[in-house]
Chains A and B, each alone.
Chain A
Amino acid sequence: MKPAFSVIFLTTLIGAGQGLFLAYYSAEWLVTLNMLQPPTSDHSAEAALLAFALMAAGLVASFFHLGHPERAWRAAAMWRTSWLSREVIALPLAMGTVLVFALLRLLEIDFEVAMLGRVSLSLSTLVGFAAVLAVVALFACTAMIYASLKFLRQWHSPLTVLNFFLMGTASGFTLATLLAVVHQAGFFGYFSGMAIFLTLAALISRFSSLARNRRLRSPSTLQSAIGVHHPNIRQIAQGAMGGSFNTRAFMHSYGPSVLLLARRFFLVGGFVLPLLLLFVSDADSLLLCALALSLQFLGLLTERWYFFIEAEHPQNVYYQMIS
């Protein structure tokens, strides 16, 4: 497949935003459960605003993918069958709940709604819980857009869903680590520990999908594509001399050396180096954490680019030679 740049930015940006929100919201609950030191000052509202901004940026990027962005609202219609439609519902839901969470705290209009044992539940905590559900649903919907296409066998795997979740949360927690260094209010150990764990998990999971895809063979051949069962078939015309949508949308022209470089870059830059940098940084290493985040984000952009390159569309067997 040809990489769709708007979709590359959409999926990486919203992944980081979703991960960032999960990082701060989970830290808050760990404090409530006395498993984490409370922060010296609360920055959850700013973090949620940043998460909202990242998702909004992703949403803006996604509009560049559409031929008719003004009709995008129609895309919510077919949620019963289409994962894209479900994503179109889940993204504004996640953005909305995260924004309400942030505003409740920022404008200090939060109030207690219930007591759970000795724990006081504020409205923002409840809204945050809804946001967590929306964020997790959004991860599932985004990944299932790709994983549900059974003809694109490189995508049609539970590993795709796992990868999207792990890479999104890993970049979100790395961003949270940087914020913890900036704010100097605590949570550094939790965020960086989780970022290391998630990045390592994402590396393992992405590596498994690379290994899986290397072994894949398409069940479609030129023989099944045109129904002529002869071992020796050669295309001599594809019906168009200047190319067509079929040759522009589903093929790339990058050689194996470029692909190898990209693969090495995202494995090292997106996972291994951030892992090492996070490992050696402490609560004051602003530069190291900023470097880890930038490297990881660049690496994940490359990973998403490669994710498209990797997928081989079965229609390509019809387009082997121009004329």
Chain B
Amino acid sequence: MAKATILAAGVGKRFLLHHKRATSLKERLLLHRQSSSEGFWALQDVDLEIGAGQTVGLIGPNGSGKSTLLRVLSGILAPTTGTVEVRGRIASLLELGAGFNGELTGRENVYLNAAILGLSRRETHRYFDDIVGFAELEPFIDNQVKHYSSGQYVRLGFAVAVHVSPDILLIDEVLAVGDESFQRKCLDKIAEFQQRGCTILFVTHALDLIPRICSRGVVLDHGRVLHDGDPVEAAERLRSLLGTGADQSGRGTVAGDRPRVAAARLFDPASGAAKGHFRGGEAMAIEFDVTAPAAGPPVSVRMAVTGPADVPMWVMESDPLHPGPDGTATVRFTVKELPQIKGIYALAVAVRDPAGTVTYDARRFSEAFLAVGDTATGVLEVVWTSEQVEPPDENPVER
């Protein structure tokens, strides 16, 4: 029986939030003994034993300590309590191309970065062509890295990191960057590592990836391990934690008399056919059903389309909606031309009073649609309209 590759026992990490910390000798002298700080436990009592060859998905809400855990396991941060034992060479893909120097060429950076990751010059020399080939940068390898596009930069970073023949791969959401074909290539590479018996621990927000790739799922919340085991259960556990559980597309039931977001539908405005996959420049319609007390005050719906890392891409807000006698209202947002964005987008939607002072309900529909366009550059100009419409007949609202 091989020993665990990663053994974390009782790991806790406490960050100090300094209020009046002396950051210079001068302040140190002036602020003598006045510095105050407050502890914040980013991780607590984390016990993890990861055997060789396992692929573990690490998921959790924002700020649950996922990245901190990866940084502690990779030896960048020292744990405040507990111990971490690691066997083998770690490639931590916390930030791709972290060690790159813009003034140097791609070639020089490959050698430098590989040396930092623990490779000898001879080994780097052997892998060099593979690295450049994987990154698809043959024509640019002798250009200065500062002239690279962000995609090229990230590709080179990933290529170096995976070619140092790691025993353990720690991946922090880096797969969210790069275009789709490169993402697929990265996933293929991960599969190759799995076959080779490499241990993989990765953080992701793409919950559908977890059951597909991982043999085990770990859910972190507020720095504690909430679930450790079956990956499908892990993803479900997180969904329920985030309130984006089942019934993402079905119609909800009215609970109480507070206005609520019941359902969301995405479709092609021309044909009315449901759709989840849009190309840049195509029209897109999004309908939300809202339940609200019949003949109650008007409500408005505000929604944001959010991209990777929850960055809001654009926001749309409806005019006041007047709930019908059945206590529902449906609003349709129509985007005339989808901007040239790329990736998986979520909808964050809230029901508020028209003045925007009270938010009655907020929901997030993650992985709502996939957009395939050229990568957006600059400011997005989105032309959209909103109107209150009759709810579709074929699917009557349950009351």
A and B form one complex: no
> Using a CB–CB distance below 8 Å, which chain A residues touch chain B?
none
